[in-house]
Structure 1
Amino acid sequence: MRAVGLMAADDRFRSRRDEYAEATWQAVVTAARELFGEAGYSGTTVQQIARRARVSPATVYAQCGGKKGLLKTLMDAWTAGPLVREIIEACAAARSGAEKLHVLADGYVAIYQASGDIIPIVTDAAAAVPDAAEFLDTANARHHEALIEIVAQIRETGDLKEDLSDEDAAWIIYYHFRFEQFELVARNMGWGEDRARDWIRERVELALLDA
């Protein structure tokens, strides 16, 4: 009985320790996300991140891999989080090419709502920091792979124009729905997210689908 009690106590200790580690990790990631957005990746120090997260600089390195590890964590959240797979699966469940593009358009808006602050952080950092440039390349490659998968789904419906390759179709979607384009229409032009989404989707439908 004593051994069982010790094991139970050990499990509780491990659980509390894991919860603390997770909370610490989340606090550091949140602090980095805020500071990178405020001052840029290059303009933020590990010491500033640690101060905002209320941890030691050593913890930032040990738990999150320093600034580089934190930037990768943010990039992964943007490009490899569960939302991306949910969008692909929802597109697969839609029957027609037009329905799939409706789902995809809604998915882009959802991603930009969730990660719209992360994308410029990575993009801006990539212009000056080699590690960030590699992360952006990874993000773009993941984006392209997801679009190729969705285009293949559209082709299976028979709705994709026959003279379009999957590669070209994926690039057309990327060109129209990339973050910078969406921000231009939704923010700079003042159309708002819904009108921007619908207008861009209609352009993509005209370019990709048979009438």
Structure 2
Amino acid sequence: MESNPAAPATKSRRAENAELTRQAILDAARALFTERGYFQTKVGDIASEARVSVAWVHAVGGGKSGLLRTLIEDGVTTQDNARAVDSIGSITDPEELIRFIVRATRERFSQWSELMRQVSAAATQDPGVRKTQEIAYEGLRGALHLTAGRLAELGALPDTMDVPHATDLLWLHLSNTAYFLRTDELGWSLDESETWLNETLGTALLSRPADPNRANTPR
């Protein structure tokens, strides 16, 4: 029996179309969650925005909660985040490492702050959203723990500071909550925030003070 040479191509096209549909649904969900808020967005709104059926939306995410979780999980597991983790383990200059993690969290905040603002607002009322928020927190805190561990490996931490304490200090300054405080409540620009973070974390975490004449951005 002859094989059908068009079968692999057909399967590939179907897989590609399915992925494009999935991405359209996720893009629509993110845009609407950001614009309207989680509770004000309906599954039908997402379907209309993505130009698919409601059934497709449920198939991709299982409803609003599933779509939000998928958005956050996809954000945590990006190639950019994987490269950042690799960089944390390869940087040998403690001051450069602090500048790197400050810049990385700044960029992450810029990309995700609008959605995470809505997640934070909904998390107080919805246990499912709260669990999704925890996924984002765990991803960031894991990167900060790696940073603290790397500083310890480099012998950069003060003698009185261990890795858990250093991780807490990084979280205190680099979490979404900390960024929202500086940008929303204090009105700081991200440039001002980055300069302050490099100076403050250098002083708090390094056994010798950071050099203020060093560049404020990663090499």
Q: When the two structures are superposed, what TM-score results if normalisation uses the length of structure 2?
A: 0.88
Which residues of structure 1 form unaligned runs of 5+?
none
Residues in 2 aligned to 1:59 and 1:124: alpha-carbon distance in whole angstroms: 27
How many residues were matched structurally?
208
Higher helix share: 1
Query: Superposition pairs for residues 49-198 of structure 1, below 5 Å?
Result: 49-186=46-183, 189-198=186-195
Matched, 1:210 2:207: yes
Deviation at 1:129, TM superposition (A): 0.6
Q: Aligned pair in 2 of structure 1 residues 191, 138: CA closer, same or farther (>3 Å)? A: closer
Asked whether the equivalents of residues 28 and 50 of structure 1 are also in contact (C-alpha less than 8 Å), the reply is yes
Residues in 1 aligned to 2:142 and 2:104: alpha-carbon distance in whole angstroms: 15
Helix, strand or coil: the match of 1:210? coil
Asked whether the equivalents of residues 44 and 54 of structure 2 are also in contact (C-alpha less than 8 Å), the reply is yes
Q: Which residue of 2 aligns with 1:3?
A: 2
Greater RCO, CA 8 A, separation 6+ = 2
Q: Could you list the per-position Cα deviations for residues 57-93 of structure 1 after superposition, in whole angstroms to 9, with x for gaps in the alignment?
A: 0110012221111110121133332222221211222
Which residues of structure 2 form unaligned runs of 5+?
209-219
- CA RMSD for the aligned pairs? 1.8
Q: Aligned pair in 2 of structure 1 residues 112, 204: CA closer, same or farther (>3 Å)? A: same
Comparing 89-98 and 48-57, the one that deviates more: 89-98
Residues in 2 aligned to 1:170 and 1:181: alpha-carbon distance in whole angstroms: 14
Deviation at 1:156, TM superposition (A): 0.7
Q: Identity percentage over the alignment? A: 28
Q: When the two structures are superposed, what TM-score results if normalisation uses the length of structure 1?
A: 0.91
